[in-house]
Amino acid sequence: MGIENLAVLNRPNGEVEFSCPECHGIATPNDGVADKEQLAYLLVCSKCRIILGQWPTAQERAQDLKVFAEKAKRELSDRP
């Protein structure tokens, strides 16, 4: 599952929050093991615990989520 499938919640303060498209639990950053030798930086559903995204570095995760949030804000503001 890629981050393009994340549900987006528009908060009253103007921030966006990501949620799981399956159960609508809040998406939370987490660290995990991609394989036995490499640490992965994950985005995990806080409710059903499925992995919503995976990156090789925390910086790449932060950048991808920032870009995705900016795109989501634009799309939400374009809605009637």
Please name the residue that has the structure tokens 């103007």: 14
pLDDT at 62: 92
pLDDT band at 80 (very low <50, low <70, confident <90, very high): low
The pLDDT value recorded for residue 38 is: 78
Q: How many helices (H) and strands (E) does the chain have?
A: 1, 5
* Candidate from 4-13, 28-37, 67-76 with smallest mean pLDDT: 28-37
Whether 34 contacts 58, CB under 8 Å: no
- pTM exceeding 0.85: no
* Residue keyed to tokens 């992995």: 51
Q: How far apart are CA 69 and CA 52, in angstroms?
A: 15
Identify the pLDDT of residue 15.
81
Cβ contact 6:27 at 8 Å:
yes
1 band by pLDDT with thresholds 50, 70 and 90: low
* pLDDT tens for each residue of 18-65: 999 999 999 999 887 766 777 889 999 999 999 999 998 989 999 999
